[in-house]
Each structure stands twice: as C-alpha cells, then as structure tokens.
Amino acid sequence: MTFFNGIISISNIYTLLFVIFTVLLFGYLLGRITIKGISLGDAGVFIIALIFGALFFGVNESGELLFAASSKPYDFSSGLTIVESLGLVLFVTSVGYIAGPKFFGNFKKNFKSYVLLGLVIIIAGGLSAVGCIYAGEIFGYGATIENQDGFVAMIVGLLSGSLTSTPAFSAAKATVAEEFTGLVSVGHGIAYIFGVVGVVLFVQIMPKLLKANMDQERAKLVVKSENNEKKTASKLFEIDHLGFAGFSLAAILGTIIGQIKIPLSSAGLGGTCFSLTTTGGCLLMSLVLGHFGRIGRVSIMPTQNTLKLFRELGLVLFLVGAGIPGGAEFVANFDPMYFVYGVIMTIFPLIIGFLFAKYVLKLSLLNNLGSITGGMTSTPALGTLITVAGTEDVAAAYAATYPIALIAVVLVSQFIIILF
C-alpha cells in the first residue's frame, strides 16, 4: 500500500468508487423517466454527475477539484480524468468495431454526403459563434470580460463546449494569448452541458415529430458487410473467447496514432498542431480492424456481447468523468448570457445540419441523425440514437462524419481567433 503514498490514498480510491457508482445508480434511475416517449437515457448519468459536482465538489484557486465530504482535501481531478479517458477509449473502440464491417461500404456509398454534412455543421457552428461575437460588441461582453480578445476566447471556448469537442478546446487554448486560456476553459465548461443534453434530446424528438416508422427507417440503413461471410466461414484462431485481446490491440494502436501531431502552421496559427487524439485514433483503428476482422489466421474481432458491454460501460464512465468536474466548474463560472450563447451554438448547427441532410443530401432519417451525432462530435447522443433506432448500424454514419467534423472544428476555432 505504501506504493500509493503521496499519489492517492486507499480511502480516496474508495471515495472515488463510491461517487462513481452512486452517480451511475441515480443516473440510470433518472434516465428511465419517460415523458411522452422522451427520456434522458444514459444522459441521466450526466445530469446526476453535474448535480453531484455542483453540490459536493468545488474548485479551489489552484484549479483542484475537491470533494466536500472528504476528511482531508484531495484533488480528484486526476482520478476523474482517468475515468473519463478510459470511458472514451472503451466507447469509441466499441463503436468502431461495431461499424467496421459495414463502414467502408456505407462510406463509399455516401462519401460526398458525409463530407459535406460534416463541413456544413461545423461552419454553421462557426457562423453562430461569429454572430455571438458581434452580439457581444453590441450588448456588452459580459460582467467578467472587458475587451474583445477576452470575449473571443470565451466564445471559442463556448463553441468547443457546444460541439463537445476536446480537440477544438485544446487547439483554442494553444492559440489564444496566455492570459485568456482560463476564459476558454470557462466557456467550454458552460456550453458543454447543453452541448450534451441538447443533442441527446434532438435525436429522440425528431423521429417523433416526423412520426417515423422505425422498421422502415432501419431497412433503409442496411448495407452489405464486405467479406464478412468469408471471414466467418473459415475457422480462425481466437486468442481469448471474448475478444479482449483484439480490442486491446485496437486501443493500443489507436492511442499511439492519436498522439501523432501534424503542424498546422509555424507562425500564422501560433505554432499549433492537429492530432486525432486518443478518441479519433481508437475510432480509426477499430474501424480498420473491425473491417478485416483478423490478422492472418488470428481473429481480432471481439464478440458482439463484449462490444455492447464496453460501449455502454465506456459511455457512462465518460459521462461521470466529464460531468462531475463540469458541474463544479459550471457553478463557479456560470453567467446566463454565456449559457445562452452556448445554446445558440448547439441548436443552430443541429437544425441547419438536419435540414441540409434531409432536403439537399436526401439522407434517410437514421443516416441523417447518425451523421448529425458525428458532425456534432457527440458521443452521448450516439449512444441514445442506437437505443432509439433499435440498431447499431447508425454507428457507421457517426464514424464517417466524425473525422471530418473533428478536423473542421479545430480549424474553424483557430480561424475565428485569428480573424478577430
């Protein structure tokens, strides 16, 4: 036990576990409440995590996340960051494996649509951010901000939060002047809450408003798996019967690829770099490995039960890890005006993207909504959509649009900072 001295005490490990499981219990109970067919689902975990963070956690002057009920002050930030990161890896790797067998066929069929929709959503988000900047110049920047540079940093933070984009958040902090990085963090935290909940509700409300027949919509999603029959016909060597080894391989390779940094500019963009991050890297690798399903005669395909379990576990761990700090920071930094700006930056690209996909690209409803979750880079909304749709095939549309949106939101965020 002495190994942990100075890092984390056993009592704090148990405290963290107690908090996580308490949030999961009440989050699932909240998510089961259904009003006119609409429920929070897994996002109920996020709401309870936010409430827990607001009521029982606080952020001190050093930025440490402290648990009020703890016998002695301890920074829980690192523990919750690990929980959040582990959740993301489990979720996106599962999604990639689930989508992999049908991904390339679907992507080939709708390539232009996915690229266009991803760009339209992010550009719409960027335009709404620019509109909020001009609104701030007219109505005042806010009680805590005295100049345009600070306000732009706040808006870009709100944009990354409204699109739940960690890469955009990191890129914005690296691009703004050092004295304004705190404002980027505040904006991200304020907008992140509605960025999650808004998209989760949207993917449930739209099918009901359109009175969609889900059986018909699921039929429109069917894409033939490439070479799957050949894969399953021959007997392959399994390292373990649940496929944990193959899953781990995708996570390892994805983590490595996600850390590769590509310089965007040495001067114009402040020397910042773009990377897929662990999330994008794991998604990419699991798509590829899920497509082939084997390396030689060795199976690297996890079982469907494993993927379903990891997808659900990963999603709720991510929501707990992100929600508790978000709740604490939300209380400490809340400003109604900034919250409204964040809502605008979530709703505007949602509506524009949906209408563009429906009337211009002519995508089917579930392809539309799956692409929307990818374009909004919304991990929780995909989990909800899978439940609403009754099929995991929607993950292919998410996986196709996500990389486009990931790159675009980083570039748009930095362009706004440079422009203003």
Q: Is residue 190 part of a domain?
A: yes
CA-to-CA distance for 8 and 74, rounded, in angstroms?
8
CA-to-CA distance for 257 and 80, rounded, in angstroms?
24
Q: Cβ neighbours of residue 275 under 8 Å, at least 6 residues apart?
A: 167, 258, 259, 260, 261, 262
Cα 384 → chain centroid: 13
What pTM was computed for the model?
0.73
Q: Is residue 76 part of a domain?
A: no
pLDDT score, position 417: 83
CA-to-CA distance for 309 and 316, rounded, in angstroms?
11
Written as six digits, the tokens of 110 are 């709708």
Q: Is residue 291 part of a domain?
A: yes
Q: Is residue 366 part of a domain?
A: yes
Q: Is residue 11 part of a domain?
A: no
Q: Is residue 28 part of a domain?
A: no
pLDDT digits (tens, 9 = 90+) for 231-287: 454 588 999 999 999 999 999 999 999 888 777 655 444 555 667 778 778 888 998
pLDDT digits (tens, 9 = 90+) for 28-71: 999 888 887 777 778 788 889 888 888 888 777 666 777 765 55
The b/e string for 315-343 (b: 16+ C-beta within 10 A; e otherwise) is bbbbbbbbbbbbbbbbbebebebbbebbb
Give residue 75's identity as a one-letter amino acid code. Answer: D
CA-to-CA distance for 84 and 192, rounded, in angstroms?
14
Mean predicted confidence (pLDDT) in 202-213: 91
Q: Cβ neighbours of residue 139 under 8 Å, at least 6 residues apart?
A: none
Nearest Cα residue to 195 out of 314, 347, 42: 347
8 A C-beta contact, residue 205 and residue 350:
no
Domain carrying residue 217: 99-310+335-419
Give yes or no for residue 143 having a pLDDT over 60. no
How many domains does the structure of the chain reveal?
1
Cα–Cα separations (whole angstroms), residue 82 to 78, 87, 237, 320, 322: 6, 8, 33, 11, 10
Mean predicted confidence (pLDDT) in 92-108: 82
Q: Is residue 81 part of a domain?
A: no
Give yes or no for residue 324 having a pLDDT over 80. yes
Residue 193 φ/ψ, nearest 5 degrees? -60, -55
